[in-house]
Amino acid sequence: MDLDNYRDKYNKSFNFNSELRKCLCGSDKYKKLFSYDRYLLRNKIVVCKKCGLIFANPILKKDYLENFYKSDFYRKLYNLELDNNKKDIFSKEGDNSNNSFNFLKKFINERRQINILEVGSGHNTNLIHFKKIGNLYAVDYSNESKKLAKKMGITFHQGGVEVIKKFNLNFDCIILSHVIEHFHDFKNDIREIIKFSNQNTLFYIEVPSMDLKYNLDQLQNAHNFYFTKNTLIFHLNKLGLDCIEHGIASNIHQYGIFKKGSTKQDNSLSNEYNKIIKIHKKFCYEFYWLYLVNFYFRKFIKLIIGEKLTILIKKILKKQRNK
Ligand SMILES: [Zn+2]
């Protein structure tokens, strides 16, 4: 299936396959920011007026999303350079694969073997860096991921967070790299994962950053949440995870290393909404302004030098670019 066909089908059935919900903070007051994602798939993105969290609303229903991930069409869709015959559906995803190891290693005591779990492991190349120091465990919806795990000597269960219990273990490290922004039932999914940890467990969580990059490029229909540093730390805090380190990963993403702490009850993100609205206005202004300038500038040039000459110049420029 190509993208155009997929888009038509997807957009027509979007209302049927999606459902409305409240923000993670419980509020149902929000403002719309975007209506489509970067592939022009329907995707309404809102910002919560209470805590400033940016999220998709409505979101795709759970069974629809699970089938989407299982089919591996998801990765093909988001990796357009990939042709249909290519075997490695995870191509390009491994580029950032040493982030989790690099940021976690200073916290890890290498004198003993540790148990490391990755949820949503995809290509499993995050985990492979830990091979010398630990036992590797992974869960993912994808069939391809399952096959790769077998080859790589990783103990694997196919599915989402609900299959972690099959390992019957507590883990020393839990990696969630570009995963929690996909969670359908965020609070339950995080709480379920925390069950398989102890007081010293390190959680490595990496997600896109709306502080570092706020534009259409960030938007994709499978993402349910778009975090800033503040909203990431705030909402994980509320679920009992304390941030011990936060930073930039691969230039445009953010990571946090978390440990189990006490659940926070405060609602101190009062300024985040205003901050997001300010950033959004700036983005819209620049986006439309540039578009209009470009549009009218071309018209103006055409008017001055004439249509035939414009076409000739275009042809010459095109030839030069193709050389
Ligand atoms: Zn909220």
Q: Which CATH architecture has domain 3-270?
A: 3-Layer(aba) Sandwich (3.40)
Ligand 1 center from residue 20 Cα (angstroms): 14
On the 0-12 / 13-18 / 19+ scale of CB atoms within 10 A, 18 is: buried
Note the pLDDT of residue 193. Answer: 98
Ligand 1 center from residue 22 Cα (angstroms): 8
Q: Which residues pair with 32 in a beta bridge?
A: 46
Ligand 1 center from residue 235 Cα (angstroms): 9
Ligand 1 center from residue 42 Cα (angstroms): 22
Q: What is the pTM of this model?
A: 0.83
Note the pLDDT of residue 312. Answer: 81
Ligand 1 center from residue 196 Cα (angstroms): 27
Question: What residues does each domain of the chain span?
Answer: 3-270, 281-322
pLDDT tens for the 323 residues of the chain, in order: 577 788 888 899 999 999 999 999 999 999 999 999 888 889 999 999 999 999 999 999 988 888 877 776 666 666 644 444 444 545 445 456 789 989 999 998 777 789 999 999 988 889 999 998 899 999 999 888 999 999 999 999 999 999 999 999 999 999 999 999 999 999 999 999 999 999 999 999 999 999 999 988 888 888 999 999 999 999 999 999 999 999 999 999 999 999 998 766 666 788 999 999 999 999 998 887 777 777 777 777 777 777 777 788 778 888 877 66
Ligand 1 center from residue 50 Cα (angstroms): 5
Ligand 1 center from residue 209 Cα (angstroms): 17
Note the pLDDT of residue 182. Answer: 93
Q: What per-residue string of b and e applies to 173-186 under the rule 16 or more CB within 10 Å gives b?
A: bbbbbbbbbbbbeb
